[in-house]
Structure 1
Amino acid sequence: MATSINLSKITKVDLRDCWQNEATDFTPWLATEENMSLLADALGMNELEVKAQEEHVGPFRADILCVDSGTDKLVLIENQLEKTDHNHLGQILTYAAGLDAVTIIWIAERFTEEHRAAIDWLNRITDKEFNFFGVEIGLIKIGSSPAAPIFNVIAKPNGWSKDVRTSSSQTSNENRTDAEMSRYEFWSAFCEYMANNPSKKFRTQSPSYSHWMNIAIGRSNFQICLLLNSREQKITVQLYIGDDIDKKNFDALLAYKDEAETSIGETLDWRRLDGKKTSTVDLYKKCDFTKKSSQAELFEWLKEYTERFVTFFKPIIKKL
């Protein structure tokens, strides 16, 4: 006799049952680190660092102003707890006109067909410095469980991939040097390795021809950089500290030197770079990264030490 299986039903929950007011209830809920991470995951973006709520953009106020910690570019979020309307579309156009490079995310309970088409049109006519998303927010529950949010992306930039949209000039192999092709092949294979062995600590960017790959660490002006150096035959996991001409951030992290090296398990190269706006903390591995037979070992090394860097440095950086 077949065993009886009891299954619960998924039911929809009215948004107003959880958030009575958009500005005082929904926006503060969304602006928490946990919920911004949910939104970023749904969009396939890096971590979003909230800078302000109800931020002025010209005569308007953006509900949430963020920075994409992987690119340091502005992200503006507009919220609605009902279906989309022309007023919010007008605000989105105003934001785009007043800023040089920006990602705009319009969140609503329901998108009308004309407003979804408007987001698609904006993505077609603007250059790659602008990204427009339409996201529907819903609430569901299973049986008597608490309500859970669902973000449904119904409009996004053409060709949007997991972390980065790659321009047509980047994807073309024409006129590429052997070194560029080697780097692209390495990053492509590394991304495939990470897709098969995903990390809970970080996401990779899309492969490129560059000698670096940036990993978001949750705050602008800080990144983990994975570096390829064919001349010195080494790869590097690097904590990159930007916009730090007075070295306050570097010196604050340097106070954790012994603790960092014990946690990560290796001696690190602490490069203050006096006179420059940047500083770095580096870990090197000597190798020939173009040698296909050893790449699996290198991918494992990059993943392991990137996770160790993120685990140790991320909570400290957020407190600086």
Structure 2
Amino acid sequence: MVNLSKLEEIKDLRTVWPHEALDFTPWLSQDDNIALLADAVGLDITVDETESSVGDFNVDIFASETGTDRKIIIENQLEDTNHDHLGKLITYASGKSADVIIWVVKHAREEHKAAIEWLNNHTDEKVGFFLCEIKLYRIGNSEPAVKFEVIEKPNDWTKEVKKSDSANATQQQRYDYWVAFQDYAFQNEQFAKNFNRRKPSMDHWMNFSVGSSACHIAVSQIQKRDELDVELYISEDKELFHSLLFNRDEIEANAGLKFDWRELPERKASRIVIEKSVNFGDKNQWNAQFDWLIDVMLKMKKAFKKYL
């Protein structure tokens, strides 16, 4: 006869995550873990930022639905629901113009279940509120296992179509390329440590944070020229561009790369670019292109970071 063990619920979530902001939010923002919440609510979630600013406050996780323009906020509470967090939820939703609002809690009180239900019944049909409880289980001395249980959700909630029926062939290829690039790149441990997943789109560019509000790394598909561009895009800071240009030799030596330094004096933005000729039409070459992108992006971030 098979011996069966007993499934035990771990009531105190803080035995696993002692601190909401320092332990639980970083854990949830990881790809494998946000996927568990995404499966529970029926959405594909891409984390854009943790502790994202909303005026003088910060929402735990600011995200987006992969393949659409829907903005998502996630507010975490390792305790029973309360009025304070409900108020924060609405404040953050307003500040971020969120389409999807997810409240992740230890236990949902009846009055707050009713409040979320009321919000879903009385707000715009494009806006949806989810209330989810976190459950932890173990069998014997096993590692804890987590489960998200949806307590309240919008009525007749459905996913938006990820790929537009009206997209032309070029737009569709851009989208497919970005999806394939991220699926490939985030298997690279070093890349995954340095960059966050972005929402794939039909745009020809994709932006990645380098930890500075003044600039970011942009990757572009220039399909009409069969060209890949990687650049440090400086939005409105000519002084920063000149500071980097002053250190050009050291930056390029550290990166092992030669850049095209474009001040663009007639514009607010400046660009520091490297280009590569490619063949977008041959998907068998995509992985080699992705390897080049990964290598260049990592080298650029490391070389420029000390001057930002």
- TM-score class, shorter-chain normalisation, is 0.5 to 0.7
1:45 counterpart letter in structure 2: V
Q: CA deviation at 1:197?
A: 4.6
Match of 2:29 in 1: 40
Deviation by residue 1:270-313 (Cα, 9 ceiling, x = unmatched): 22222433222211101222222322211111122122223333
Greater Cα offset, 291-300 or 149-158: 149-158
Task: Confirm whether residue 111 of structure 1 aligns to residue 108 of structure 2.
Answer: yes
Aligned residues: 275
TM score, norm. by length of structure 2: 0.64
| Percentage of identical aligned residues | 31
Task: Confirm whether residue 184 of structure 1 aligns to residue 175 of structure 2.
Answer: yes
Inter-partner Cα distance in structure 2 for 1:127 and 1:255: 53
Contact map agreement 1:84 1:111 (CA 8 A) in 2: yes
Match of 1:259 in 2: 250
Task: Confirm whether residue 300 of structure 1 aligns to residue 291 of structure 2.
Answer: yes
Task: Confirm whether residue 271 of structure 1 aligns to residue 262 of structure 2.
Answer: yes
Inter-partner Cα distance in structure 2 for 1:78 and 1:67: 7
3-state secondary structure, aligned to 2:175: helix
Match of 1:88 in 2: 85
Greater Cα offset, 10-19 or 34-43: 10-19
Q: CA deviation at 1:120?
A: 8.0
Match of 1:224 in 2: 217
Inter-partner Cα distance in structure 1 for 2:145 and 2:48: 19
1:101 counterpart letter in structure 2: S
Distance 1:197 1:308, change over 3 A: same
3-state secondary structure, aligned to 1:171: coil
Distance 1:123 1:234, change over 3 A: farther
Q: CA deviation at 1:266?
A: 0.9
Distance 1:172 1:237, change over 3 A: same
Task: Confirm whether residue 233 of structure 1 aligns to residue 226 of structure 2.
Answer: yes
Inter-partner Cα distance in structure 2 for 1:296 and 1:112: 50
Aligned-pair Cα RMSD in Å: 4.8
Inter-partner Cα distance in structure 2 for 1:99 and 1:79: 17
3-state secondary structure, aligned to 1:45: strand
2:95 counterpart letter in structure 1: L
Deviation by residue 1:15-56 (Cα, 9 ceiling, x = unmatched): 78899xxxxx957xx2x6x8764343244413436558xx65
Match of 2:195 in 1: 202
Gaps of 5+ in 1: 1-9, 20-24, 57-61, 142-147, 159-165
Gaps of 5+ in 2: 1-7, 35-45, 65-69
Task: Confirm whether residue 99 of structure 1 aligns to residue 90 of structure 2.
Answer: no
3-state secondary structure, aligned to 2:279: coil
Contact map agreement 1:135 1:151 (CA 8 A) in 2: no
Contact map agreement 1:107 1:137 (CA 8 A) in 2: yes
Match of 2:276 in 1: 285
1:316 counterpart letter in structure 2: K
Q: CA deviation at 1:110?
A: 2.8
TM score, norm. by length of structure 1: 0.62
Contact map agreement 1:67 1:74 (CA 8 A) in 2: no
Pick one of 143, 165, 176 that aligns with 1:173: 165
3-state secondary structure, aligned to 1:306: helix
Q: CA deviation at 1:268?
A: 1.0
